[in-house]
Amino acid sequence: MPPVMAILLKDLRQRSRDSTLLLFGVLLPLGLAFLFSLMLGGGDGSRFNARYAVADLDRGPDATAFVGQVLEPLERRGTVSLQRVSSVQDGARLLERKEADAVFVIPAGFSSATTPEVIGGAHAPIAVQVAREMAQAFAMERQSIRLAVLAASRGLPVDEERDSRLARRAQEVAAPLTLVSDTSATRRQLDTATYHAAGMAIFFQFFVAMFVMAAVFEERRSRVLARVLAAPVPRAAVLGGKALCGILIGLMSMAVVVAASTWLMGARWGPPLGVVALVIAGVLAVTGIAAAVAGFSNTSEQAANRISVVAMVLGVFGGALFPIPQLGVLEVASHLTPHRWFLTGLADLAAGLSPGALLTPVLVLLAIAAATGGLALTRVGGMTRT
Amino acid sequence: MPVLEITDLTKRYGDLLAVDHMSFAVEEGETYGLLGPNGAGKTTTISMVVGVLDRDGGEVLIDGLRHDVTSVKTKALIGYVPQELALYPDLTARENLRFFGHLYGLTARPARMRITEVLELVELHERADEAVTKYSGGMMRRLNIAIGLLNRPRLLVLDEPTAGVDPHSRNAILESVQRLAAEGVATLYTTHYMEEAERLCDRVGIVDAGHMLAEGTRRELVGLLDEHDRVILRVADGAARAVPTLRDLPGVLKAGGEDGDLELIVNEARSLLPAIIGALGEAGVEVRSVEVREPDLESVFLHITGKALRD
Ligand SMILES: Nc1ncnc2c1ncn2[C@@H]1O[C@H](COP(=O)(O)OP(=O)(O)OP(=O)(O)O)[C@@H](O)[C@H]1O
Ligand SMILES: [Mg+2]
C-alpha cells in the first residue's frame, strides 16, 4: 500500500472515531439542508412543527433582529409556534410540562459575537436540533456581516456613520427570510433554496478541510509525526493523505447536502454529471486553499483561526453567505473566490446552458486547487518540521 | 563496516549548540549507549540519526550509505523508539502497528505475523484490540517500543525507552534489547540511568552540553578515573588498633578510620576482601558489616564533568 493511502485510511479511521466524519460528513450538511428547508419553505419541511419559547433578556437591536427576522416569520408561516417568556425559569417550566420543545435564551449583553442559547426538551430532539442550527446560523451570519463591513471599509478613514449604514444594509440583505429576487445573471436561474444550500455547503468545506489539516499540527505536537517521518515515507505523503481525507469527507458532505436539499426543499441542482464535476472541482479548490493557509501556520490553533477567517472573508466576498451584488464594490472581488465560480457554474447548469459553459468555472476551480495545492507542497518541509 | 557511523554531527538552535561535532560508530550486534544528563543533546543527536531533523553539519552513514531527512532507502533499515509516546491514542495497539507496518512496506500476511510477534514480545497480545487511551503508561511505553521493532531493523534506536516503566516491564524491555543485540542488531540507546548503560551497553559515550566527552567500554571509562575501589567496614571496637595492620596488607593503598568505622582504598576490593577480614580477625576486631564501592559510570561522569548525572 502506498504510504499516502495508509495515511489516508488511518486518518479516516481517526476521523470516524472522533466523530468528525459523522459531524461534518453527515449531521452538519443534513442540519443545514433542514434549516434552509424550514426557512425557505417547500418540500416536506413545511410539515415540520415545533413549539419554541423565547426569553429575550437583552432587548437590544441584535436580540430583536433574531426574534423579528428569524423566529416571527416562521411563526407567521405556522412552521413554529412561539411563546414569549420573561425568564429562563419560565422557559424551563414550559419544557418540564412539555408545553415547549426548546427555549431560546438571548442573554443580556447579546451582540453579534454571541450565539443565542438553546435549552432543549428531551422529548423533542429534532425540534431542539433545528433550534440549535437556527441559533448557530444566525450567529454565523452576524459574524460574516461584521467581517464584510470591516473588509469593505478597510483602507478607508474611520467613519462610524458609514459603517453602521453598511451594517444596516447588510443586515437587511441577510435577513434569512428575505427571498432574493435579484436580476444578476449569476443567480437569475438558481432558485433561492439551491443557492443557499450550495453557498453554505461550499462555505462549510473550509471547516472540513480545517479539521483535517489541523491534525498535522496535532501529530507534530504529540511527536507521533516524528515517528511517521522516520519511516521510509516522503514528507509530501503526510500532507497528501490529510488532503485526500479532507476531500473525501468534503465530497461526502456535499453529496448529503445535494441529496437532502433536493428531497427536503425541492432544490433543483441540474444535470447530475455537471453537478458532480463542479462539486469535485469546488472541494479540491477549497481543500487546496485550506492546505496552503495551514502551510503558513505553526500550530493547529493558528491554522484553525486563519482558515476560519479566510473561510469567512471568501464566503462573504464569494456570495456564499448573502448575495453579492447588493454590496456593490465587493462584486468584483467575488471573482477571486471559489464560491463565486462554484455558484456561477451551478447557475449555468440550472439555466440549462450547454455543458461547455461549465468548462470555465470548473477550470478556474481546478486552477485554484492546483495553485494553492502547489503552494502547500512548498511548505511541507516547514509543516512537518520536528 | 559499522552499521551506523556519524562524523562531526552538529546542530544549532539559535545561539545554542545543541550537538557539537559529535562522532561515533555502532557495529553490527553492538549496543552503544549515550549517557548524559537532561539537555545533553541525546535526543537531538538521535533525531538526526533517524532522519527526522536536519543537521547543520557532519555526516550520517547507515550501512555505508549517506543518510538524511529525505533518504527513504536507509530509513527502511532503522527502527526508532522515540522518547515521547509517539502513538495514535484513539487507535488500538494493533491498528497503530498495522499503520506503521504499512509505512515500512510490510504486506498483509507478513505484517499480521510480525504484529503478533512484537505484541507477544512486549506482552500486549491480550489487549491488542483496545484503544491505546485505555492503556496504562507502562503499556503505552511497551507499545512505543513494539512499533520500533516492526520492521526488523538493522539499526535499532531507542531514546530513553524505560522512562516511567515499572521494574518488571523495564527488565522485559532490557532483555528484549539484549536478545536483539544477540541476533546482530546494532543498537543505539540513550539513557540517564547509569545501571541501564552498564548492564546493556558494550560501549558508552558520555555526553554533556552537546559534546562527546569520553567513550569506551565500561572498563575503559572507569580506567579514566584515578579512583580505586573502596571498602567500608563497620566494626564493634578497636578500629584504631586495626588501621596499621590493614595498611600493611599488599594491595591496600590507604586505610583510616575512627570509632566504629574503617575506610580502605584498595586496588581490587573483591579479591582483597578475605585478607582484610582475616587481618581484622587476628587483631581481635569484630566486623559488623562490609560495604564495597567500585567506581561506576556515575563516578566517571562526576569525574569528567564535575557534576552528578541526575540532580
Ligand atoms: N526544537 C528546539 N528548539 C530549541 N532548542 C531545542 C530544541 N530541541 C532541543 N533544544 C535544546 O537542545 C538541547 C539538547 O536537547 P535534547 O532534547 O537533545 O536533550 P536530551 O539529552 O535528549 O535531554 P533529556 O535527557 O532531557 O531527554 C537542550 O538545551 C534543549 O533545550
Ligand atoms: Mg531526550
Quick check: B76 contacting A, CB < 8 Å? Answer: yes
- What is the structure's pLDDT at A173? 44
Mean pLDDT of chain A, nearest integer: 80
- What is the structure's pLDDT at B54? 92
B103 with A17: Cβ contact below 8 A: no
Contact call for residues A268 and A191 (beta carbons, < 8 A): yes
- What is the structure's pLDDT at B29? 93
CA distance B273 to B290: 9
Q: Is the CB of B18 under 6 A from ligand 1?
A: yes
Pick A231's closest partner by Cβ from B47, B103, B131.
Answer: B103
Interface size A-B, in CB pairs within 8 Å, comes to 70
More confidently predicted of A107 and A283: A283
Measured between CA atoms, how close is B204 to chain A, in angstroms?
24
Confidence of residue A334 (pLDDT cuts 50, 70, 90): confident
Confidence of residue A44 (pLDDT cuts 50, 70, 90): very low
Q: Is the CB of B40 under 6 A from ligand 1?
A: yes
**Among the listed residues B298, B311, B309, the one whose alpha carbon sits nearest the alpha carbon of residue B42:** B309
The DSSP string of A249-286 is: HHHHHHHHHHHHHHHHH------HHHHHHHHHHHHHHH
More confidently predicted of A337 and A39: A337
Confidence of residue B310 (pLDDT cuts 50, 70, 90): low
- Nearest protein CA to atom 29 of ligand 1, as residue: B39
Confidence of residue A162 (pLDDT cuts 50, 70, 90): low
Contact call for residues A294 and A64 (beta carbons, < 8 A): no
Residue A179 has pLDDT above 60, yes or no: no
- What is the structure's pLDDT at A9? 94
Supply angle C-alpha B4, B7, B10, rounded to 5. 115
The DSSP string of A135-158 is: HHHHHHHHHHHHHHHHHHTTTSPP
Contact call for residues A74 and A48 (beta carbons, < 8 A): no
Residue A169 has pLDDT above 60, yes or no: no
From the candidates A7, A229, A235, which should be mutated to test the interface with B, based on the most B CB atoms within 10 A?
A229
B147 with A234: Cβ contact below 8 A: no
A386 with B47: Cβ contact below 8 A: yes
Q: SS3 for B89?
A: coil
Beta-sheet strands, E only, within chain A: 50-56, 80-85, 102-106, 117-120
Q: Is the CB of B191 under 6 A from ligand 1?
A: no
CA distance A245 to A257: 18
- What is the structure's pLDDT at A177? 31
A17 with B90: Cβ contact below 8 A: yes
Contact call for residues B148 and B103 (beta carbons, < 8 A): no
- Nearest protein CA to atom 26 of ligand 1, as residue: B38
Q: Look up the pTM and report it.
A: 0.73
Count of CB atoms situated within 10 Å of the CB of B259: 10
The grid cell for B243 is 588501621
- The amino acid occupying position A236 is A
CA distance A126 to A44: 15
Return the bridge partners of B234, or none.
B261, B289
**How many whole angstroms from B159 Cα to the centroid of ligand 1?**
13
Residue A186 has pLDDT above 70, yes or no: no
Q: Ligand 1, closest atom to CA B34?
A: 21
Range name among A318-327, B169-178, B252-261 with the lowest pLDDT average = A318-327
Tell me the CA end-to-end span of chain A in Å, nearest whole number: 25
More confidently predicted of B306 and A305: A305
Return the bridge partners of B10, or none.
B57
What is the crossing angle of helices A359-378 and A272-295, to 10°? 20
Pairing of strands B78-81, B155-159: parallel
Count of CB atoms situated within 10 Å of the CB of A221: 12
Confidence of residue A183 (pLDDT cuts 50, 70, 90): very low
Query: Among all residues of chain B, which has the CA nearest to that of A224?
Result: B86
Confidence of residue A73 (pLDDT cuts 50, 70, 90): confident
Contact call for residues A310 and A289 (beta carbons, < 8 A): yes
A230 with B80: Cβ contact below 8 A: yes
Residue located via cell numbers 562524523: B7
Contact call for residues A229 and B104 (beta carbons, < 8 A): no
Structure confidence by residue, pLDDT tens digits, A224-237:
999 999 999 998 89
Pairing of strands A80-85, A50-56: parallel
Dihedral over Cα of B10, B11, B14, B18: its sign:
negative
Give mean pLDDT, residues B106-126: 90
Confidence of residue A182 (pLDDT cuts 50, 70, 90): very low
Confidence of residue A148 (pLDDT cuts 50, 70, 90): low
- What is the structure's pLDDT at A75? 82
Q: SS3 for B159?
A: strand
Confidence of residue B48 (pLDDT cuts 50, 70, 90): very high
Residue B202 has pLDDT above 90, yes or no: yes
Residue A380 has pLDDT above 50, yes or no: yes
- What is the structure's pLDDT at A48? 58
The grid cell for A385 is 518540521
- What is the structure's pLDDT at A26? 85
Give mean pLDDT, residues B262-276: 85
3-state class percentages of chain A: helix first, strand second, coil last, to nearest 5: 70, 5, 25
Residue B230 has pLDDT above 80, yes or no: yes
- What is the structure's pLDDT at A152? 59
Mean pLDDT of chain B, nearest integer: 89
CA distance A94 to A151: 43
Give mean pLDDT, residues B67-81: 93
Residue A15 has pLDDT above 50, yes or no: yes
Confidence of residue A294 (pLDDT cuts 50, 70, 90): very high
Structure confidence by residue, pLDDT tens digits, A251-281:
999 999 888 888 877 777 888 888 999 999 9
More confidently predicted of A318 and A266: A318
- What is the structure's pLDDT at A1? 82
The grid cell for A38 is 424550514
CA distance A297 to B242: 75
B179-210 burial, b at 16+ Cβ within 10 Å, e below that, comes to ebbeeebbbbbbbbbbebbbebbebbbbbbbb
